């Protein structure tokens, strides 16, 4: 598996593991089997048992085609529907623990999923998926053409996750918050702040830490009472956890 650098809004590269070609193929195969199961169920119960197929024989070709296409819509829009509802995952992707994300660190949006879904015509349906396969292999971010156009990639979620990889912070029962204005932040803001903080701390990157402090002050309007930048960011994260848990 290749490493994928995601450049956050704080201009810090965070490393994720790109989903392998094998994982993506298995996820696709799982989704394909689900589609086959749906079509088989519809064909048997709706068309055969209900007698709809016999009724359709009395209709003109266009009417027959319209009814068939109506029942096939869930198959056509399967990927778009599930990626939108499950935040970047289909049933197959969830089973394989992989997910679509933006390469700028944010959650992909519905327009991104639409672009990826539309490009499936080229990536997957044309030439039996050879185009998408080649694109994933040669791309430095493991992207098919739809990902490149939408600015997304597919990452694996199988890495071990600890509290250090989430927005959660350990708080004592008698913790007293310092900065009430942290409520202006969103969960995604807090996640990016923590990821940036951890990367800068491990690299002893004082300049990035200062930029992060300035960005937090700019967005929230907080006036820091800490001389130590590390202590300020850590307090902001703890305060955010405190207020979100007590609201």
The answer on pLDDT for 12 being more than 70 is no
pLDDT of residue 73: 94
The answer on pLDDT for 126 being more than 70 is yes
pLDDT of residue 163: 38
* pLDDT band at residue 10 using 50, 70 and 90 as cut-offs: very low
> Which of 114, 92, 86 has its CA nearest to residue 37?
92
The answer on pLDDT for 201 being more than 50 is yes
Residue pair 240/190 in contact (Cβ under 8 Å)? The answer is yes
* pLDDT band at residue 81 using 50, 70 and 90 as cut-offs: very high
* 3-state SS string for 7-43: ECCCCCEEEEEECCHHHHHHHHHHHHHHHHHHHHHHH
The answer on pLDDT for 160 being more than 50 is no
Most confident of the following: 118-132, 167-181, 224-238: 118-132
Between these two residues, 103 and 146, which has the higher pLDDT value?
146
The answer on pLDDT for 144 being more than 60 is yes
Radius of gyration of the chain (CA): 24
């Amino acid at each position: 598996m290749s490493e994928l650098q995601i450049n956050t809004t704080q201009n810090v590269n965070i490393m994720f593991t790109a989903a392998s070609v094998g994982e993506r193929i298995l996820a696709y195969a799982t989704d394909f089997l689900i589609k086959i199961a749906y079509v088989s169920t519809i064909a048997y119960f709706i068309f055969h048992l209900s007698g709809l197929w016999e009724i359709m024989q009395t209709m003109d070709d266009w009417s027959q085609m319209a009814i068939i296409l109506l029942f096939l819509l869930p198959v056509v829009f399967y990927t778009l529907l599930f990626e939108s509802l499950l935040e970047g995952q289909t049933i197959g992707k969830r089973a394989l623990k992989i997910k679509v994300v933006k390469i700028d660190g944010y959650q992909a949006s519905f327009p991104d999923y639409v672009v990826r879904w539309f490009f499936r015509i080229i990536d997957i349906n044309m030439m039996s998926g050879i185009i998408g396969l080649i694109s994933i292999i040669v791309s430095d971010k493991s992207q098919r053409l739809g990902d490149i156009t939408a600015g997304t990639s597919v990452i694996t979620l199988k890495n071990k996750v600890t509290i250090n990889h989430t927005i959660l912070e350990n708080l004592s029962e008698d913790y007293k918050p310092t900065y009430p204005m942290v409520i202006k932040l969103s969960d995604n803001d807090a996640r990016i702040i923590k990821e940036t903080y951890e990367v800068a701390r491990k690299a002893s990157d004082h300049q990035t830490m200062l930029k992060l402090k300035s960005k937090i002050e700019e967005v929230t309007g907080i006036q820091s009472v800490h001389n130590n930048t590390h202590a300020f960011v850590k307090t902001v994260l703890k305060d955010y956890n405190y207020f979100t848990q007590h609201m």
